[in-house]
Structure 1
Amino acid sequence: MIDIEKCRTEMVRLATHTSLSDKHVIETSTRLDSLLNKYYLLTNKKNSYINS
């Protein structure tokens, strides 16, 4: 969760100082997407074990 928040904060900071189409903003957004996907996969696996 901490990595997700750090990445999100960094993306907002970059976008504030550049533009949404800036290379670094897009790279950070892609990294955030990846972190969120991993988080959701892990949480869904936990929930499926609990509900089984």
Structure 2
Amino acid sequence: MSKQELLERIERKRAQLIDIVAETGFNSPKAIQFSQELDRLLNSYNTKHIKEYSTQFN
């Protein structure tokens, strides 16, 4: 998955999470599930792209 594709998935998941929280609240099982999915996407981005960027300058 390209960097751009990953960023687009992150933005879509973030928007979905906002909608779910508005409908069901912060502690609903669905909100927690979406939050965890967003965390995984963000961790993937950080692993692939932030670390890659930082190693270029070390």
User: By the TM > 0.5 criterion, same fold?
Assistant: yes
Whether 1:29 and 2:35 are equivalent positions in the alignment is yes
User: What is the TM-score with the length of structure 1 in the denominator?
Assistant: 0.88
Distance 1:14 1:45 in 2: 31
Equivalent residue for 1:18, pick from 24, 33, 39? 24
Paired positions, count: 51
Can you give the 5+ residue segments of structure 2 that lack an aligned partner in the other structure?
A: 1-6
**C-alpha deviation, 1:43, in angstroms:** 1.3
**C-alpha deviation, 1:8, in angstroms:** 0.3
Can you give the 5+ residue segments of structure 1 that lack an aligned partner in the other structure?
A: none
Equivalent residue for 1:5, pick from 8, 11, 16? 11
Runs of 4+ more than 6 Å apart: none
